[in-house]
Structure 1
Amino acid sequence: MLIVRATKKLLGHTNPPRAVEGDQDTTLLGPWYATALFWRPRLALLVNERTLLPVLLPLAPARSLPARIPEEIAAVLDAHQVPEAFIADELRNMQDCRFATTANRSVVGIMNEFTKLAETYADESARPNLVALSLRLATTPCSPLYAKNVSPDRELAALVR
């Protein structure tokens, strides 16, 4: 099961299946955090709690967002050259996607910083490639990772080694 901890902004815009008390994330990467970016077109930004890896994906159609999240995460993992066996295991564990409210203010802060950076980077292109933009954001140094691998891309590489 994949647990996505979403902001009120995203939960108010979608009607995803909700996690119930006792639901546990079964993926190796652990829970993901998500928020809505009301750009044109509207996007969802996901950030992994463990590695702070960012993933951008189209928000519309909002009804199908839970079903699309695993494939979008897999596409970004593949772009980071994560081994196929790791991606397959993650996809297998993400078949059931449930949403809950945010619980880690540090990750929410990182999401806010990624949002500002994404806006800056997206201004450089009329229609940014979301996987490429996710990869660029992943090179950003993040203070929670300073004692480890400094940036989400390096933290991910260290985890899958």
Structure 2
Amino acid sequence: MLIVRATKKLLDHTHPPRAVEGDHDTTLLGPWYATALFWRPRLALLVNERTLLPVLLPLAPARSLPARVPDEIATVLDAHQAPRAFIANELRHMQDCRFATTANRSVVGIMNEFTKLAEIYTDDSAHPNLVTLSLRLATTPCSPLYATNVSPDRELAALVGAAGSGKGVDGVQHSE
């Protein structure tokens, strides 16, 4: 199950399926945070809690957003050259996508920073390439990552490398 922790403005706009008490994320990347960007065209910004990896996608049609989130995440993971097996495993765990309210103010702050940077990077472009913009945002140094890999793209690479090496994200060798 994929848990997307969304801002009130996104929840009010999309009315997605809601997580209930006891639901937990089963993906390796963990929960994602999301907000609505009421630009033209309207967008949704997702940020992964563990890696701070950003993903931008069209908000419209808003009702189908929960169904589109897994594929959009997979597209950005592929653009970051994550292994296909890793992406397939994440997609398998994202088949059930539910939304909850935000719980981590630090990630919400990072979403706000990415929003500001995305506005600057788009430079009034009416139709920016959202994957390219997501990749560019992922190179941004983020203070919660200073003690580890500094930027979301590097944090993702380290996490995927640990997963592919047979070691867990805790760095300990795990057998299957």
Task: Mark yes or no: TM-score above 0.5.
Answer: yes
Match of 1:121 in 2: 121
CA contact (8 A) 2:41 2:126 kept: no
- The answer to whether the Cα contact below 8 Å between 2:86 and 2:160 also exists between their aligned partners in 1 is yes
- What is the distance in 2 between the residues matched to 1:13 and 1:124? 24
Which amino acid counterpart does residue 130 of structure 2 have in structure 1? Answer: L
Who is 1:92 aligned against? 92
2:103 corresponds to: 103
Identity %: 89
CA distance in 2, matches of 1:16, 1:52: 22
Q: In structure 2, what is the Cα distance between the partners aligned to 1:157 and 1:14?
A: 32
- Offset at 1:126? 3.3
CA shift for structure 1 position 123? 1.3
| Cα distance between partner residues in 2 of 1:77 and 1:4 | 17
Instruction: Give SS of 1:118's match.
Output: helix
Rounded to whole Å, the distance in 2 between the matches of 1:149 and 1:74 is 22
Shift of 1:106: 0.1
* Cα shift readout 1:119-143 (whole Å, capped 9, x = no counterpart): 0001163321000000000000000
Superposed counterparts of 1:1-161, under 5 Å:
1-123=1-123, 125-161=125-161
- What SS is found at the alignment partner of 1:36? strand
Aligned partners of 2:29 and 2:157: how far apart in 1?
A: 12
Q: How many residues align?
A: 161
Gaps of 5+ in 1: none
Separation in 1, partners of 2:118, 2:109 = 14
Between Structure 1 and Structure 2, whose CA radius of gyration is higher?
A: 2
Distance (whole Å) between structure 2 residues aligned to residue 67 and residue 18 of structure 1: 13
The 8 Å contact of residues 37 and 45 in structure 2, kept in 1 or not, is answered as yes
Displacement after TM superposition at 1:156 (Å): 0.1
The ranges of structure 1 where at least 4 consecutive aligned residues each deviate by more than 2 angstroms after the TM superposition are none
Q: In the TM superposition, what whole-angstrom CA distance separates every residue of 1:30-57 from its partner, at most 9, and x where no partner exists? A: 0000000000000000000000000000
Post-superposition Cα deviations, 1:12-43, rounded to whole Å, max 9, x if no partner, equal: 11110000000010000000000000000000
1:74-98 deviations in Å (ceiling 9; x for gaps): 0000000000000000000000000
